[in-house]
Structure 1
Amino acid sequence: MYSDHKPRNREADLVELTIGFTDQSSSSPNSHCIESGSMLPLSLFVSLLVLHLPHASADGDICIIGGGISGASTAFFLTSYTSTLGGAQLRVFERRQKVGGRLGTVTLAGDSFEAGGSIIHPRNLHARRFADLLGLAVKTGGDDWLGIWDGKSFVFQTARPPPVGSSWWRRKLHSLVNSLLLLRRYGLSLLKMDKFVQEMLRRFMLFYNGMESRPVFATVEEMLQWTGLYGLTRRTLEEELLDAGLNTRTIAELVTVITRINYGQSTHISGLAGAVSLAGSESGLWAVKGGNWQLAAGLLKTSNATLHLQEGIDSITDAGDHYVLRSNSGSEYECMVTVVATPLDELNITFSPPISIPPRKMQHTHATFVRGILNPRYSEGDMAAYKMFSRAKLDDGLLDQIFRARIETIRINWAAYPHYQAPEEFAPIVLDGKQLYYVNTFESAASAIETGAVAAENVARLIISRLSLLPQAQQQQPHIIKSFAEQESQRRHVDL
């Protein structure tokens, strides 16, 4: 499959390719994919709630493990919703040398390209507000060209985009022609697919009701049941779309390529993850100029957290009234609250006493960046930058078949998102019934920049509400949850 996809995830021109490999779970083994993103909405909070937090001793810190979007959002919401942390120091541990987690960039022939989470949906209001708050410039998508390759030839192609700088009417005509081409091949299934996605978005937006009408959730199941989305995690996307009236061609071709690129998986993923994936194929997608990782960096800076770079956590021990975190540097930290804001599935953190979470595999996506010239069999063109997604490493032999010439090649292997399989199981948000929290359990519902922020916002509220229930003798000064409306009048700019 070939696609010059929107938005252009680049600071320079970038063409995206996806290489598909056959497997028995795929509903269309030879279909190759376009890149899509998956992100969702946010609300304006208007109520002011007064809560109390216990005074923390000098060694009673609030510790967050993970400097990606989930950890950074947790730190941001904790400090934004409260006037003080009760004397506690906020610490964030990141095992890599740079924050951002699965948000990152690569430099190819002097140009910067998104390597991880690369696009953001226009209704991702948390991400939008973050970018505005931090004063980050954004870029939007341009005209695109979609082609679906079945292993031998293109079974479907849209019209190639007009030259850069073309007039508005020419670009509008190009968009209209592509819409007609899609409608001719997939018919009314396109409208039914859009209706399915819009209903999911409508329900998801309930998460952004004001605090006075939105509960604090103790489990992911409660979050999803409250919005009416839980049922979508119990069945596959293919089952949901067939019930919605989509024809098999649309599912086997168009839907399959979207889920392949978005989650590296087939239409056998759970319905909610699939719906989020399809939402990422809509128009209006955007990204942060210079890289989406700046969202995490900026949020951490505004939270005034103490950042421990290149310091991973090896063990977490319950010491009664606090947790002892031991890092790979040999240091120990005493934490009143500990938040795990990174997937536990491929980390070797020892918990004492042990915790119990359902098994979950992470889906690895191989991103390969090439500066080169395509083999004329696939496309005519000059030297350009190409971004390819695959579920296995692309060796030099295969790349030499795809490209007539290669100047530079960069490979990245991401543990990008969970391997989705309906019905989904969810780890607890509160891992031990005390003050040990897990943000990334929500990824079993859907994985995206925005869903990480949604989960983090709930965890921050949960921490504040549960700490307020501690004995009154341990409580000191009032702890205020501030509204977004109040924050709007106190907009801050951060130099990254």
Structure 2
Amino acid sequence: MLPITLITLTLITLTIPSSSSQSTADVCIIGSGISGSSVAHFLRQYSPTPISQIRIFERHTVVGGRMATVTIAGETFEAGGTILHPKNYHALNFTHMLGLKVNGPSASESSMSLGIWDGDKFLFKTIDFDSKNQIVQYFVSLANSIRMLFRYGVSLLKMNNFVEVTVDNFLKYYESKESRPVFSNVEDMLKWADLYNLTTQTLEEELVGLKFSPLLIEELITVITRINYGQSVKISGLAGAVSLAGSGGDLWSVEGGNWQMAAGLINRSDVTLHLQEEISSVTNAGGFYELNSTNGNSYTCQITVVATPLDELDIQFTPEIYIPERKLQHTYTTFVRGLLNPAYFGLNAVSDLPELVGTIESSELPFTCVSVLKEHAANDFTYKLFSRQSLTDALLDQIFSIRNETIRINWGAYPHYHAPEEFAPFILDDKHLYYVNAFENAASTIETGAVAAENIARLILSRLSGQQPSRSYGLKSSTSDSNLQHPEL
């Protein structure tokens, strides 16, 4: 068995004995990732009346979905959802509330050297100078910034502005509930935050329209989208902007693994957890839904919320539901403990290799990136590789001169983005069947999962109380700090 902590995202079900808004409710959740655990948390937090019971059904042996860790040489490394942005306020709130520790980038990680490889040569390399002296690190960082500006020009500054505008718009989702509508579909949710137009054209089209330099798009931005979403600049503009935001500074994770957020939310929400129980069918039986599991058990719930990607699952719905056809982008994550072979990259020494090797878009390249996670000793490193196909032993033996341990994981990690995007509905029927992961076609991150889950929890409670969600795409709102709901950590 691989030493990996797996966690799946969720399908949630709410059982209500009557239509009265004052009645108690039973909640059934199938899966246990950040979306499902967040729905459970927000239902507990926002419900005006007590919810009598919440059940979570998880098909794996442990909780977490696409957040996971591996253990190599006694060290724990993120294997799934890895990084969080400093303005991911739900994740920050969860971490603070659960008493988890923030693991920020070390000085060495902040100054990690980068190389852009085309399969034959390095097109660009930053300066790498190993020093613990902060003044030296500062000047090395400054020199690298100047070198990048020299190569990519003012478009590099435009990129930062493009990301900042997108992040500022996203911050509207943290406004107080009094000023923030409940959304019944993804399109309205995006339009309200002035983000929808970014889903109607590709990142490349967006950046060309902003007069970004072709070199910046073909090299650095392509490297970033390949690392973060395993795809080229043909992805939609919003997914691309989110990807670029995930390449900035001050990124963080939860010490010991991001999966602990989902586990903590489940524990805090007074949930009955059913591990290794997969839901195989959901039937609208008139007034309630009947859920059957592969274990032969049956459960009845009046409200069902799907919070796991349906694209590769075989859940049978009666009556049938319609969602747009969508393919998941598979990211093959390979961990290797050993030593890279510099000759594979046309170099003479391991010390000549950048700590992060990104690649341009080319069908000839076998991986999207390779990075150093940990140096254990002079000839003993742990590396992480992303690729679009599984890397064979024969290929790995070319890339590495020493390979002592190898762990492979195949993630159906996120949607295969395109533009214009077509979104599945949040409400899958005319009753109470909901789909959190419809929002993933906008962008797929830990934080967007939590943002969508919070809206779904509010949508459930508003519809139970007889309120109709707002059609709010024409609304404008303030993003002043006084309206944002987050602690300063």
Q: 1:159 maps to what in 2? A: 127
Q: 1:188 matched to which residue of 2? A: 154
Contact kept in structure 2, 1:109 and 1:408, CA below 8 Å: no
The 4+ residue runs of structure 1 with deviation greater than 4 A are: 484-488
> Is it true that 1:98 corresponds to 2:95 in the alignment?
no
Q: Which has the higher contact order (CA 8 A, sep 6+)?
A: 1
Partner residue of 1:432 out of 413, 429, 432: 429
Q: 1:264-303 maps to which residues of 2 (within 5 A)?
A: 264-303=230-269
- 1: distance between equivalents of 2:455 and 2:254? 25
Contact 2:89/2:486 (8 A) holds in 1: no
SS in 2 for 1:192: helix
Shift of the 186–433 alpha-carbon distance from structure 1 to 2, 3 Å rule, reads: same
Q: Distance in 2 between matches of 1:131 and 1:376?
A: 40
Partner of 2:46: 81
**Cα deviation, residue 53, structure 1:** 2.9
Contact 1:145 1:159 in 2 (8 A): yes
Matches within 5 A, 1:195-206: 195-206=161-172
**Residue type matched to 1:247 in 2?**
S
Consecutive unaligned residues in structure 1, runs of 5 or more: 1-51, 471-483, 492-496
SS in 1 for 2:434: strand
Q: Name the CA distance, whole Å, in 1 between partners of 2:183 and 2:129.
A: 46
Quote the residue 1:10 is aligned against.
none
In structure 2, relative to structure 1, the CA distance for the partners of 1:161 and 1:432 (3 Å cut) is: farther
Structure 2 CA distance for aligned equivalents of residues 400 and 178 of structure 1: 32
- Structure 2: 5+ residue runs without aligned partners? 1-19, 352-378, 468-482
2:30 to 62, 65, 71: 65
- How far residue 204 of structure 1 moved from its aligned partner, in angstroms, is 1.1
State how far apart, in whole Å, the 2-side matches of 1:407 and 1:180 are: 39
The whole-number CA distance in structure 1 between the counterparts of 2:168 and 2:450 is: 18
In the alignment, which residue of structure 2 is the partner of 1:359? Answer: 325
* Preserved CA contact (<8 Å) 1:66 1:340: no
Q: Percent of counterpart pairs with the same letter?
A: 58
Distance in 2, Cα, partners of 1:487 & 1:197: 21
* Partner secondary structure for residue 235 of structure 2: coil
Q: Distance in 2 between matches of 1:346 and 1:192?
A: 38
Pairwise CA distance, 1:64: 2.0
1:389 is the counterpart of 2:386 = yes
1:53 alignment partner, SS class: coil
Give the distance between the partners of 1:140 and 1:350, measured in 2 at CA: 42
In the alignment, what sits opposite 2:473?
Answer: none
Moved more, 344-353 or 102-111: 102-111
Q: What secondary structure is seen at the aligned counterpart in 1 of 2:164?
A: helix
Secondary structure at the aligned position of 1:411 is classed as: strand
Using the alignment, how far apart are the partners of 1:62 and 1:354 within structure 2? 22
Matched, 1:441 2:438: yes
SS at match of 2:27: strand
Shift in CA distance, 198/129, structure 1 to aligned 2, threshold 3 Å: same
2:279 is matched with 313
User: CA offset at residue 85 of structure 1?
Assistant: 3.5
Structure 2 equivalent of residue 208 of structure 1: 174
In 2, distance between residues paired with 1:84 and 1:95? Answer: 30
Q: CA deviation at 1:83?
A: 5.0
The Cα of 1:159 is off from its aligned counterpart by 1.4
TM-score normalised by the chain length of structure 1: 0.82
Aligned equivalents of 2:332, 2:29: Cα separation in 1: 28
Whichever residue aligns with residue 450 of structure 1, its letter is E
SS at match of 2:37: helix
Q: Which amino acid is 1:316 matched to?
A: V
State the alpha-carbon separation in 1 of the partners of residues 257 and 486 from structure 2: 25
Q: Distance in 1 between matches of 2:386 and 2:485?
A: 42
The amino acid that maps onto 1:254 is L
In the alignment of these two chains, the number of paired residues is: 419
Contact 1:192-1:245 within 8 A present in 2 as well: no
State the alpha-carbon separation in 1 of the partners of residues 220 and 297 from structure 2: 51
- Aligned-partner SS, 1:126: helix
Distance 1:114 1:486 in 2: 28
CA separation in 1, counterparts of 2:486 and 2:341? Answer: 53
Provide the C-alpha distance between the structure 1 equivalents of 2:400 and 2:407, rounded to a whole number of angstroms.
14
CA distance in 2, matches of 1:437, 1:250: 41
**Corresponding residue number in structure 1 for 2:303:** 337
Q: Please list the CA deviations of residues 39-70 of structure 1 after superposition, one character each: whole Å capped at 9, or x if unmatched.
A: xxxxxxxxxxxxx73424xxx62222221110
RMSD value, Cα: 1.8
- Please report how far the alpha carbon of residue 434 of structure 1 lies from its aligned counterpart in structure 2 after TM superposition: 1.3
Question: What's the offset of the Cα at 1:487?
Answer: 11
Partner of 1:147: 115
| Aligned residues of 2:280 and 2:316 also touching (Cα < 8 A) | yes
Aligned equivalents of 1:268, 1:146: Cα separation in 2: 23
The CA distance in 2 between the partners of 1:81 and 1:289, in whole Å, is 28
CA distance in 1, matches of 2:453, 2:340: 42
Q: How much has 1:92 moved relative to structure 2?
A: 1.2
TM-score under structure 2 normalisation? 0.83
Aligned residue among 66, 81, 84 for 1:120: 84
**Aligned residue in 2 for 1:406:** 403
Deviations 1:14-43 (A, max 9, x none): xxxxxxxxxxxxxxxxxxxxxxxxxxxxxx
Q: CA deviation at 1:73?
A: 0.7
- Aligned mates of 2:429, 2:301 — CA distance in 1: 15
Q: Give the structure 2 partner of residue 49 of structure 1.
A: none
